[in-house]
Amino acid sequence: MSHLNLPPEAFRRWDETPDARFYSLPRFVTHIDAGAIAAVTQLYREYFPPGGDILDVCSSWVSHLPEDVTYRQVTGIGMNAAELAANPRLTDWVVHDLNTKPVLPLADASFDAAGLCVSIDYLTDPVAVLRDIGRVLRPGGPLVVTFSNRCFPTKAIAIWLMLDDAGRCRLVENFFRAAGVWDDIHTLDRSPGTGDPLYAVIGRRR
């Protein structure tokens, strides 16, 4: 499976109304269960440098960062101002629709690591977004993309809904490869064994 061979229809959604409308009301809920959240937090503990500058892409009211680790800066990019304002870990944040403009309003090489949690399935141009996350990371900086088997089906891209978990892992790996700026791309199965599964695809900025 190659991203470049997928037709445009693969990235369409059942609901193509503006995302800003869909996300206009805050949702103060978590989208994976406690076991999967703990798996995300452990990944961040392993890959995000303490004291570093961290980027939380598709952020909301929680970032799942380790509570006992301090970072110099945590910047959130998300769709709902109320959710972002309620996130206690963010030092700054901006409302930005990556499906309208897949370019982050951030400076080159300004972060040490980035996370994109349970949201890759909603991006209509994921390769462009992953490429631009690479632009704002410093060389060697990791991007940790996590996902499960839960989503808002009306807003997930069509190809995501057609695949099983293994297929989704391969799909995200191909997004990383097609972006052209990532090395050491690998997939981890961090599913807790009960409850929601949790997968991660990780790459390091070339």
3-state SS record for 14-66: CCCCCHHHHCCCCCCCCCCCHHHHHHHHHHHHHHCCCCCEEEEEEECCCCCCC
CATH of domain 3-205: 3.40.50.150
Overall average pLDDT of the 8-21 stretch:
93
Rounded to the nearest integer, the mean pLDDT of the chain is: 95
Between CA 93 and CA 99 the distance in angstroms is 18
What are the sequence ranges of the domains in the chain?
Answer: 3-205
Looking at residue 1, its pLDDT comes to 41
Overall average pLDDT of the 146-162 stretch:
96
Residue tagged 């057609």 (tokens):
162
**Confidence check: pLDDT of 2 > 70:** no
User: For 65, phi and psi rounded to 5 degrees?
Assistant: -75, 150
Reduced to 3 states (helix: H, G, I; strand: E, B; else coil), residue 116 is strand
Overall average pLDDT of the 111-139 stretch:
98
pTM above 0.75, yes or no: yes
